[in-house]
Amino acid sequence: MQIEIASLSLIGHRDENQDRLATRERDNAVFAAVVDGMGGHHGGARAAEIATAVMMDMFEQIDLPVFHPREFLSQCIESAHGAVVQLGASLPLDARPRATCAVALVQNDKAYWAHVGDSRVYHLRGRRVQSRTRDHSHIEILLREGLIREDEYREHPLRNYVEHCIGGEPREPTISIAGAKSMERGDVLLLCTDGLWGGADDDVIAACFPSGFADLDLGSNLRELMETAIEAEAPHGDNTSAIVIHWLGE
């Protein structure tokens, strides 16, 4: 399996970076996670840190290849949720730490991903968005019901209100899990927090990672995209974090 990986986390215009991200590679498999500690909640950064560590530990311990990838991703998020719930167990419900997350597993020539909240996974091919996750948010519901247009999404005043997250209440969160997606040479998976897509629409994101370029400078392109997104939201640019996985073939 031939891949390239780049990752970056920027504080934006905030006082603290509550995002966390991580990748691990083992035996022709790669696992990636981005976690966004929710601003306004106590311990958002700690929640993101614990959730990330729990999921990475699970990948380190599982036998490869993962025979049931979708179940594995679900178990990772459920375990992260339990750890974050435990972190805030002594606090009033409205003060407990919470986070959103997106995770992906790539093995052989297949990719699998899952998310909770408004952290996203994009599958990019040929300067186009092949698919992306759909946010667990109030405005995603409005969009799905035809009450707002796609071009109103990013500017909507309720953009940051998520319907589901990890942490907070003990009950399991709603987890959206994608089925196996075949990877073609040059494909890119982008996992990101809302600080990125909040300042860059899908076309801008896709254009930064053209398919078919083996010498694509992932790190530079990712930084340029993230800085553009932050400046587009100035002076309120959020923490912005992303992982890019560039598939070069088996």
CA dist., res. 223 & res. 229, Å (int):
10
Cα 138 from Cα 174, distance rounded (Å): 14
**pLDDT, mean of residues 38-49:** 84
Residues facing residue 167 across a β-bridge: 98
Sequential DSSP letters for 207-249: HTS-TT-TT--HHHHHHHHHHHHHHHTTTSPPPEEEEEEEEEE
pTM above 0.85, yes or no: yes
- Left (φ > 0), alpha (ψ -120 to 50) or beta: where does 168 sit? left
| pLDDT, position 84 | 97
Q: How many CB atoms lie within 10 A of CB 111?
A: 22
Q: Is 182 helix (H, G, I), strand (E, B) or coil?
A: strand
More confident of the two residues 115 and 91: 115
pLDDT of 215 reads: 64
DSSP state letter for 137 = B
Q: What's the pLDDT at 146?
A: 85
What is the CA angle 175-206-102, rounded to 5? 20
pLDDT, one tens digit per residue, over 132-179 is: 999 999 888 888 888 888 777 777 777 778 999 999 999 999 999 999
* Burial (CB count <10 Å: 0-12, 13-18, 19+), residue 234: exposed
Sorted by where each starts, the structural domains of the chain and their CATH numbers stand as 2-249 (3.60.40.10)
Helices marked H in 109-236 = 138-144, 194-197, 202-207, 218-232
Mean per-residue pLDDT, 20-38? 97
Contact predicate 247/4, CB 8 Å: no
What digits encode the pLDDT tens for the residues 67-104? 999 999 999 999 999 999 999 999 998 889 999 999 99
Are 49 and 20 contacting, i.e. CB atoms less than 8 angstroms apart? Answer: yes
pLDDT for residue 9 is more than 80: yes
| Residue 160 confidence (pLDDT) | 75
For 26, residues 6+ apart whose C-beta sits below 8 A from its C-beta are: 59, 60, 64
pLDDT, tens digit (0-9, with 9 covering 90-100), for 196-240: 999 999 999 999 988 655 567 899 999 999 999 999 999 999 999
**Token pair for 140:** 């995603």
Q: Which two tokens stand for residue 94?
A: 């409205």
Phi and psi of 120, rounded to 5°? -125, 160
| pLDDT at residue 69, as a whole number | 98
Work out the burial of residue 113: count CB atoms within 10 Å of its CB; fewer than 13 is exposed, 13-18 middle, 19 or more buried. Answer: buried
Give the bridge partners for 176, in sequence order.
Answer: 115
Statement: residue 40 has pLDDT above 80: no
